């Protein structure tokens, strides 16, 4: 029986590829023999990551993308198709946001709300719209959208006690939208053999204030925050043929946060 988790010869695009989650994800996919396209606006970080992956003996390339621009998305799709013959997996991981991201609900201008929804949810829409059509004509493809547990449940604001942090209001609308848009896409493109799934992580440790980490850990079934690398297994599973009969699914990776 073939190794179902082998991503050999798969061409995988990861938007936001040089960020906290993106960089870990790109390395993991490359380790499983995929050719990884580090798609990001940050040219320096993206180029450095791609070079580092290649120096480890794997295959990666940096390409610029602005997920809010249809022209930029199509330029990347055409570039990858021209060089590699196609795109097997597209991972929507980019996390665009405004400078006032994190403001309390009562302080959020409607212009900020609109802009964040437009950039993040709208950007995922544009990416999915363009790459799904490309995959449709190949009659093969796989799209993975990063959502969140806060697209599923309301925030526990007590975990932010003692910090200046909060859960941005637009985040809940954006991530909830991504989860259901994923289901829509799966239903729409299933007959073309294009699968679409989402991953909803719980809280991922990123040097948050100690009080937040303690509060969050107490409220989590496994008693701790997640680590970025713990998203790699679920992602490789969805990107590989191991999940060939799974579409429209939201895979929750949250240490049990949403079960209580």
Residue 229 catalytic? no
Nearest one of 200, 223, 228 to 213, comparing CA atoms: 223
Sequence-separated (6 or more) residues with CB below 8 Å from residue 102 = 165, 166, 168
**Which one of the listed residues 32, 62, 160, 171 is annotated catalytic?**
171
Give the integer Cα–Cα distance in Å for 25 and 20.
Answer: 9
* 154-163 own/partner pairs: CB under 8 Å, 24+ apart: 156/219, 158/215, 158/219, 159/212, 159/215, 159/216, 159/219, 160/212, 160/215, 161/211, 161/215, 162/209, 162/211, 162/212, 162/215, 163/208, 163/209, 163/211, 163/212
Residues catalogued as catalytic: 171
């Amino acid at each position: 029986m073939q190794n179902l988790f082998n991503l050999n010869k798969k061409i995988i695009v990861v938007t936001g590829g040089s960020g906290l989650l993106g960089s870990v994800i790109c390395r993991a996919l490359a380790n499983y023999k995929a050719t990884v396209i580090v798609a990001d606006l940050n040219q320096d970080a993206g180029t450095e990551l791609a070079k580092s992956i290649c120096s480890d003996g794997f295959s990666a390339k940096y390409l610029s993308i602005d997920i809010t621009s249809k022209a930029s998305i199509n330029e990347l799709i055409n570039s990858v198709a021209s060089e590699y013959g196609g795109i097997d997996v597209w991972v929507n991981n980019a996390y665009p946001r405004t400078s006032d991201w994190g403001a309390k609900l009562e302080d959020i201008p409607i212009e900020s709300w609109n802009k964040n929804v437009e950039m993040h949810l709208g950007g995922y829409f544009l990416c999915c719209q363009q790459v799904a059509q490309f995959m449709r004509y190949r009659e093969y493809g796989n799209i993975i959208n990063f959502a969140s547990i806060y697209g599923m449940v309301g925030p526990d604001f007590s975990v932010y006690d003692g910090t200046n942090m909060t859960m941005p209001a637009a985040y809940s609308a954006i991530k909830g939208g991504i989860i259901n848009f994923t289901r829509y896409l799966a239903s729409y493109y299933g007959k073309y053999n294009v699968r679409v799934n989402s991953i909803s992580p719980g809280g991922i440790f990123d040097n948050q204030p100690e009080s937040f980490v303690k509060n969050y850990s107490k409220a989590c079934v496994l008693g701790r925050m997640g680590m970025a690398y713990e998203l790699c297994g679920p992602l490789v599973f969805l990107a590989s043929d191991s999940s060939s009969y799974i579409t429209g699914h939201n895979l929750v990776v949250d240490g049990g946060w949403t079960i209580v």
